[in-house]
A = this chain, B = another copy of it.
Amino acid sequence: MPDASPDTPAVTPIEVRDEDLDVIRYDDDGLVAAIVQDVDTRAVLMLAWMNAETLRMSLEQGRTVFWSRSRQEVWRKGDTSGDRQFIRSAHYDCDGDALLFLVEQEGNGACHTGSYTCWFRSFGSDEESTVRPGPV
């Protein structure tokens, strides 16, 4: 359970509706791509994968829960690192095969390297600054 300290962001579950879930198309491995974006800065933080179970968990718990392809297990983001992601809105695309979560990112960031975003490297440049915009 999340602790109840004043600094803990509010958990806001999202209603699970069949009309939404019925649109989602999973690949041959039963997975759908999930993009995570910072609701405050609008920076794109990471891309991971969900199956039907972890998508439902994400909506019900108001936190991102992925399926780890490398470990082949449920991966509730932040349970180990502390860098939890609290979902503020969740969206599915025109084809139903890609998800977008706008989150309040806890801690230093989303990347397992310790970086704020997983996209800290640029083609053709050694600069990192273009990835992270200031707050909107």
Are the C-beta atoms of B123 and A59 separated by less than 8 Å? Answer: yes
Q: Which residues of B contact A37 (CB under 8 A)?
A: 44
| Contact count band on A | 35 or more
Are the C-beta atoms of B100 and A131 separated by less than 8 Å? Answer: yes
Q: Which residues of B contact A90 (CB under 8 A)?
A: 122-124
Which partner residue on chain B sits nearest A37 by CB separation? B44
Cβ of A72 within 8 Å of any chain B Cβ, yes or no, is no
Interface string of A1-38 (1 = CB under 8 A from B): 00000000000001111001001000000000101010
Q: List residues 110-136 of chain A with CB under 8 A from any CB of chain B.
A: 111-113, 115, 118-125, 130-131, 133-134, 136
Cβ of A102 within 8 Å of any chain B Cβ, yes or no, is yes
Chain A to chain B contacts (Cβ below 8 Å), 21 pairs: A14-B125, A20-B121, A23-B121, A41-B42, A42-B42, A42-B43, A42-B136, A44-B100, A47-B98, A89-B122, A90-B123, A91-B119, A91-B130, A92-B119, A92-B121, A94-B115, A94-B118, A98-B119, A100-B119, A133-B136, A136-B136
